Amino acid sequence: MALTKQQILQWLENCNRTFNERRDYLTELDTAIGDGDHGLNMQRGFSKVMDKLPTIKDKDIGTILKNVGMTLLSQVGGASGPLYGTFFIKGAQSAVGKEEISFEELVQVLKDGVAGIVSRGHAELGDKTMCDVWLPVVNQLEQEDGNQPLDALLKSAVEKANISLQATIPLIAKKGRASYLAERSAGHQDPGATSTTYMLEALYNAVK
């Protein structure tokens, strides 16, 4: 079962809605172990993406994703703007010219996107960053039997994301602002891992 361009556009709209709804919660999480701007960063970023969408929605999936990435990169400050920007720009590469993508192609998009985040931010599993959700989720997706329905595959990706998100709570941050707190970062859920989980939920909601 393929993911259509319409579903990709729905994904982006869902991201915008979710970051509007959960802006204050993300900000609360980032206030505890960062500088309190993550909710605003994500909400602003995706509202800029929404502004851009009318001019790019008729293009192919790769071009749409690349423009999303460039928008996030140029409009969102802090760590998360460049990291999510890179995610979409790198993820876009294998989807250039495509009006729909198979499950395997979606996994490639996510895999390339996450590789972009890692090459830019150098975070490893357990550093208490968004990579603590991305890496296990992409790993799981790569091992799935792609013949299952897409909604079921993405539902279990969201479940994996939520489990991985909870697992960030006891960790001591090794990257980003939270690492300045050292041991005091333990006991708090990572904001970026939370926004990544929301993006995966937004994707599932676009296909279910």
Contact footprint for ligand ADP (CB under 6 A): 30, 34-35, 37-38, 41, 78-80, 83, 117, 121-123, 129-131, 175-177, 190-193
Residues in the chain, total: 208
CA distances from 79 to 7, 61, 143, 145, 176 (A): 28, 25, 30, 34, 7
Nearer to ligand ADP, 130 or 199 (CB): 130
Q: Is 128 in the site for Mg ion (CB under 5 A)?
A: no
Binding site partner of 112, from ligand ADP, Mg ion, none, Cβ cut-off 5-8 A by kind: none
Binding site partner of 83, from Mg ion, ligand ADP, none, Cβ cut-off 5-8 A by kind: ligand ADP
- Closest residue to Mg ion: CB criterion: 78
Binding site partner of 205, from Mg ion, ligand ADP, none, Cβ cut-off 5-8 A by kind: none
- DSSP letters spanning the chain: -PEEHHHHHHHHHHHHHHHHHTHHHHHHHHHHHS-S-HHHHHHHHHHHHHHHHHHHTTS-HHHHHHHHHHHHHHH--TTHHHHHHHHHHHHHGGGTT-SEE-HHHHHHHHHHHHHHHHHHH---TTSSSTHHHHHHHHHHHHHS-TTS-HHHHHHHHHHHHHHHHHTTTTPPP-SSGGGGGGGGGTTS--HHHHHHHHHHHHHHHHH-
Cβ at position 86, least distance to ligand ADP in Å: 10
Q: Is 31 in the site for Mg ion (CB under 5 A)?
A: no
Q: Is 30 in the site for Mg ion (CB under 5 A)?
A: yes
- Closest residue to ligand ADP: CB criterion: 192
> Which 58-117 positions form the footprint of Mg ion (CB under 5 A)?
78
Nearer to Mg ion, 7 or 168 (CB): 168
Nearer to ligand ADP, 34 or 91 (CB): 34
Cβ at position 22, least distance to Mg ion in Å: 15
Please give the residue ranges that form the binding site for Mg ion (CB under 5 A): 30, 34-35, 37-38, 78
